[in-house]
Amino acid sequence: MTTARTTDLEGRQPRPASHREFARTRRSSLYVRVVVVNAAILLVGLLLLLWSPVTVSAPVSVRQAIVLVAAAMVLGAADAALLKFSFTGLVALVNRMETLDLLRPRDRLPEMGGAETRALIGGFNTMLDRLEAERRASTRRSVATLEGERERISRELHDEIGQRMTGILLHLGPIHDEVPETARPRIVAVQDEARAVIDEIGALAWRMRPAILDHLGLVSALTALTESLGGHGPARIETMLPPRLPPMGHEAELAIYRIAQEALTNAVRHSGATTITVRMQSDETELVLQIADDGDALPDAGADGPGLRGMRERALLIGGLLNIEANPGRGLRVALTVPTGHLGG
């Protein structure tokens, strides 16, 4: 089986179709078409003036002036209508460039207008495809580095600091029996504090790298996450998770889990909510994760802070779309939508 060539003899990438279309229409450039349109309008006006029974005298009568003004307006309107078609799409393209968000995938500008405008919009969309691919590759490298560092820190917390704290706790047992009776309550207090520190280290190590995600999957990891965060605030966390999910790769599982972790942590710590709902559903086309609370929507919920930016970058990494709706007095809703074909299962 022969593989199709995608580069020329010098190793260059082939030009997009929009460039080829532009090359075919160079002879009828926008400048030429504008000149032709205006010349045609002037020619039509001249022919009408020559063949119509209308005459112009000096001085011009009121009736003649009205006819001339009306004809000029008609010709001007026709000229504007014809030129508008040639420039259709340029304003939309400028507005799109000004509001471009590289963290929202699959957002492209429809091609419209004349050949040059369509070629320009096509080139712009091709540029967005390349930028999105580069951003996804860069994010993948950054996330891999970050997760590797998280795993290292988690291992050191558990194997080094946790074990040392456990050793300290074990050494306190014999000391408790050897010290005077009056000093024993202080030893007990130190032991309790050491146990609390060990528990915190274990919880921190688990948040840094949840082993349950690797062994039992996303649903079990999200269930454990909601249970662990449920005891850190007044909010009640309600979960509606499906018994099974479409097959997905580790990258998609980790991205969805981290987005849920960030959104849940923010809701528990900062929203003042009484109820937080975690809902996930999927079908043949897409997977949707929604995390909503009934607290006070954060005033800077739409700001591109580190937490939100991290969630959006992880969503972009798996080809998903992240939407955040802040309703003051009615809470905050974070929704992640991922096409099933991008889950990598």
344 touches 288 (CB < 8 A): no
Residue 199: which residues within 8 A CB-CB, separation 6 or more? Answer: none
Q: How far apart are CA 154 and CA 167, in angstroms?
A: 19
Q: Is 12 inside a domain boundary?
A: no
**Statement: residue 56 has pLDDT above 70:** no
Same domain, 216 and 343: yes
User: Are residues 126 and 21 part of one domain?
Assistant: yes
Is residue 132 located within the same domain as residue 217? no
**Residue where the block lists tokens 């996450």:** 225
Per-residue pLDDT tens for 141-163?
887 887 778 878 878 887 788 88
pLDDT, one tens digit per residue, over 13-54 is: 455 454 454 445 444 566 666 777 777 777 776 777 667 766
Last residue of a domain, one of 86, 110, 136: 136
Write out the residue range of the structural domain in which residue 318 sits. 211-345
Would 3 be classed as within a structural domain? no
Q: How far is CA 127 from the centre of its chain?
A: 17
- Reported as a pLDDT band with limits 50, 70 and 90, residue 298 is low
User: Which of 119, 136, 153 marks a domain boundary?
Assistant: 136
Same domain for 124 and 229, yes or no, is no
Cα first-last separation, the chain = 27
- Let me know if residue 113 belongs to a domain: yes
| Same domain, yes or no: 126 and 221 | no
Same domain, 228 and 324: yes
Query: What is the per-residue pLDDT across 99-125, written as a single tens digit (0 to 9) for each?
Result: 766 666 666 777 776 677 778 788 888
**pLDDT band (50, 70, 90) for residue 289:** very high
Q: Is-contact 314 263, C-beta < 8 A?
A: no
Burial label for 339, CB within 10 Å (0-12, 13-18, 19+), is middle
Domain count, the chain: 2
pLDDT digits (tens, 9 = 90+) for 198-233: 888 887 877 777 778 878 888 888 988 888 887 666
Same domain, 245 and 336: yes
Determine, yes or no, domain membership for 199. no
Question: Could you write out the DSSP letters of every residue in 262-318?
Answer: HHHHHHHHHS--SEEEEEEEE-SSEEEEEEEESSPPPTTTTS--HHHHHHHHHHHHT
CATH number of the CATH domain containing 304: 3.30.565.10
Is pTM, for the whole model, over 0.75?
no
Domain boundary among 136, 159, 193: 136
Q: Say if 309 falls within a structural domain.
A: yes
Is 86's pLDDT higher than 50?
yes
Alpha-carbon span 337 to 279, nearest angstrom? 12
